[in-house]
Structure 1
Amino acid sequence: MWKIYILLAIAMAVVSLPAHSDKLALSTCEYIAADDKKRLRSLLKQNRMKIKTLHKMVFCNNQTILLFADTRQAKDVGELIIKKLPKKVVAEALPSLTSEQLIAAANNRIN
């Protein structure tokens, strides 16, 4: 009987995962758009996530979180993302950046 409860609990956890990840993605995009570095850090800490992982999973308006931050001119959050991403990822995104402040931060990160 207890095996049934365990299987039921696992099934419920798997079913509830997409809703949680949708909420995480939506919150992430909102905080980036608002250039709210403090709330983004808090969200990452609560969900035990790293920006590197988030960059692979979350797309805002069909853009990576770094390019979305650049589009929305979220300079503080953009600099945080640049600091936390691997140099290779930043180098690949550099030609697409338009903000001078983020370009400078990306160049400092790469060199």
Structure 2
Amino acid sequence: MKAKLFTLAAVIATTSFISAPVAADDQLAMSICSYVAADNKNNLRKALSDNRLRLRNVYDGIVCDGLPLVRHAIKHNAADAAGFIISQLPGSQVAASGDIEWANSNGFASSPIINTIKERSAS
């Protein structure tokens, strides 16, 4: 499993530098990003489950349109997907992410996801 996680992180990190056919792990990352953008929590959960991945283990390696998953969800007003993502991460990671400050400085201060982040940060 560690090898799979490392491979996923490596593929995601290098995809912005090379233009090659889409690898299986790259396809998974793209699917995760599209499920978040579409606010499809069930498909997001299924993709992670089918690939035997824990979100907390791959969260740092997945970047969607240059943004971490939670910020990508905020940008797309994907409250259900964001709630799932936030619930899968340690509270300390959520608190230290800077997502609230990012949202406030980028015009998303009224997003309902901010309250979810605050609640998780407090626990």
Q: Across the two proteins, how many residue pairs are aligned to each other?
A: 96
* Alignment partners' CA distance in 1, 2:100 and 2:38: 22
In structure 1, the partner of 2:24 is 20
Structure-1 residue corresponding to 2:52: 48
Larger CA Rg, structure 1 vs 2: 1
1:4-52 superposed Cα distances (whole Å, 9 cap, x missing partner) = xxxxxxxxxx8xx951110111100110111000001100000011111
Matched, 1:61 2:65: yes
Aligned runs of 1:1-111 on 2, under 5 Å? 18=11, 19-91=23-95, 92=97, 93-97=99-103, 98=108, 99-111=110-122
Measure how far apart 1:89 and its partner are.
2.0
Q: 1:83 Cα shift?
A: 1.0
Unpaired segments ≥5 residues, structure 2 = 1-6, 12-22
Give the root-mean-square deviation of aligned CA atoms: 1.8
Whether contact under 8 Å (2:74, 2:111) holds in the other structure is no
Residues in 1 aligned to 2:114 and 2:49: alpha-carbon distance in whole angstroms = 27
Q: Normalising by structure 1, report the TM-score.
A: 0.78
State the alpha-carbon separation in 2 of the partners of residues 40 and 69 from structure 1: 12
**1:50-95 CA deviation, whole Å, 9 max, x = no partner?**
1112311110001001110111110100111111111122112232
- Whichever structure has more helix as a proportion of its residues is 1
Mapped contact 2:41–2:81 kept (Cα < 8 A): yes
In structure 1, stretches of 5+ residues that fail to align are 1-13
